[in-house]
Amino acid sequence: MASASDSEETLSPDHRSLRCRRCNTPIASDRARIEQNGAHQHTFANLSGVIFRIGCFGHAANIHTVGVPSSEFSWFSGYQWQIVCCTGCGTHLGWAFIGTDHFYALILDRLTRPQTN
């Protein structure tokens, strides 16, 4: 799912809106925000009952996918999902969703905004 350009792309300094909270690696820009099922943000629970607040993005950088795509318990009908992790530190940042198009559902509390002076 994550192509070489997704995992190796460096976001330009003026678009480094969201970074990995753990290692500060640039992940996504505000310009990549999209809506799925009528909203950018969603709250879901996995099968173990862990609750995630996610934001949907059409593009993400400096991530890699883990495992094979699965359609089991997909939060978005018609999409398969794969776990995505930060290439800087390996933190689980969310999921790639693959269907007729693709997008990223990133865990918002695992991202941070850069400090400005």
**Number of Cβ within a 10 Å radius of residue 107:** 17
Q: What is the pLDDT of residue 114?
A: 81
Q: What is the pLDDT of residue 17?
A: 83
* Domains of the chain, residue spans: 4-112
Q: What is the pLDDT of residue 14?
A: 46
Kindly give the parts of the chain with pLDDT less than 70: 1-16, 116-117
Fold observed for domain 4-112: 2.170.150
Q: What is the pLDDT of residue 4?
A: 34
Q: What is the pLDDT of residue 8?
A: 40
DSSP category for residue 93? E
DSSP category for residue 68? E
Confirm if 68 and 82 have CB atoms less than 8 A apart. yes
